Amino acid sequence: MPAAARKKPVKRRRSPIQSRGQATVDAIVEAAAQILARKGPAAATTNAVAARAGVSIGTLYQYFADREALLQEIGRRHVAEMQAVLADALTGIDGLALPAAVDRLVAAIVAMHRVAPRLHQALHQSLARDHLDTIDAFEVAVEAMVSQALAGRAELDLAHPALTATVLVRGLGGLIRTTLRREPERLDDPALALAMRAMILGTLGESRRRA
């Protein structure tokens, strides 16, 4: 969906200044995330969330203007957690030889997608029509991060580092999300990691400048 067609971000109705208020917000967000992950978007009504969080519906609406505002906050926290995992996994990758760097990249992207995969899928389903901006921005940032890493490796001599990064990140991301949904146990299969490694090296080889 074009960015111009999406709704503007919904602001919270009230900011939880006191620690007690923050604890209430955390309980509401956690309850909503649990329902989304376990039962899907349709089940995550404000009434169901309030009941699971142990608060009144009125209390929920003190902090979130509507369901969309709550979903946006869940998305923001989820993306922040994924960013932290990815950044940690990629630490020191620039100093590695290419084969080791590719192995680290595979491990990093897998680790990132292991962060609450059912919640990630549910957020895509529930936010697709309105507010995917937070997730889109994160995915663009990941592509930019990989593009920068590729461009910094003179031995690769890539013609289009940004395009190559886009192909790799989206290709691996789609593969991993589908595997998590259909065959989650396969993510621990060394053969799959080797296949992803071969995919990356093959793409890098085909993306080099031609004399």
pLDDT (0 to 100) of residue 3: 43
Q: Which amino acid is at 143?
A: E
| CATH 1.10.357.10 describes domain 11-65 | no
**Domain edges within the chain:** 11-65, 73-211
Q: Which percentage of the chain shows pLDDT scores above 90?
A: 60
99: nearest Cα among 203, 208, 187, 198: 198
In the 8-state DSSP scheme, what is residue 66?
Answer: S
Mean per-residue pLDDT for 7-24? Answer: 67
Residue 100 has pLDDT above 60, yes or no: yes
CATH architecture of 73-211: Orthogonal Bundle (1.10)
CB neighbours of residue 150 within 10 Å = 20
Structure tokens at 40: 């899907």
Tell me the mean pLDDT in the region 35-56.
96
**Positive or negative torsion for Cα 102, 105, 107, 109:** negative
Higher pLDDT, 1 or 195: 195
